[in-house]
Amino acid sequence: MLLAIDIGNTHTVIGVYADESLTAMWRIATSRTATADELRVTLSSLFSLGDLGFEAVRAGAVASVVPSLTRAWVEAVERVTGSVPLVCSAATAGGLFDADYPRPTEIGADRVADGVAARARYGAPVVVVDFGTATNIEVIDREGRFRGGVIAPGVQTSANALFSHGARLPVIDLVVPPAVIGTSTVEAIQSGIMYGEADRVDGLVRRIFAQLGYEAPVIATGGLAPVVAPHSATITEVNPELTLEGLRLIAEAAA
């Protein structure tokens, strides 16, 4: 079995694969001060909840955009699996990640994993929209090359900025309101944030299509993808497991 871990700024997603099958997946808050011992305890608790045992896990793969946590997670996974996990990057992805990009080393691990999984699952061209702390848009062209993309503030990040600068604005749940025209302060904020995010993605994707000269499937992933995607005109599918799948593919190719 493979333990795949996607460490984001806000959430960390953990998956366990038996061959190509994802048998368990958990989303936990990212703790920037966690030690390897604390992370191992967290893994132990999650495995117990899923009726899983560490003894079946033989390999690990980690994608991290939080450098201060990468070493702690690597140590925790090594203790669980008995082997040093693969740390995802454009280099470790090897031939699975062909980048037409000036400095591939600066491409985030999550973007690499998303690109690998999207090309393998959906072919090329393909566009990925990853709704996380940042909303990332990744572009794979007709030749299967990573061309780059867009990084914008994520839904929660934008909401937090609004709440922190508006003294009389209430903190709200990030859900789509019943109509664009809000009939309360809460609904008005929800409309601006949620419908605004869907329309921002659509506008950026259309600009990407115009630059490429052709259209492509658009795959949404990340925690808020199921909420935003139904209100987008360009997103064609939601795949919450995309980043973990990319980690699985990279780890298998490197084995």
**Catalytic positions, written as ranges:** 110
CA dihedral (212, 148, 157, 109) positive or negative? positive
Q: What is the DSSP-derived secondary structure letter of residue 115?
A: H
Q: Where are the beta strands (DSSP E) in the chain?
A: 2-7, 11-18, 21-29, 59-64, 86-87, 98-99, 126-131, 134-140, 145-153, 218-222, 237-238
Q: Which helix (H) or strand (E) holds 48?
A: helix 36-49
Cα three-residue angle 158-159-164, rounded to 5 degrees? 100
CA dist 111 and 250 (Å) reads 13
Under 8 Å between Cβ of 128 and 242: yes
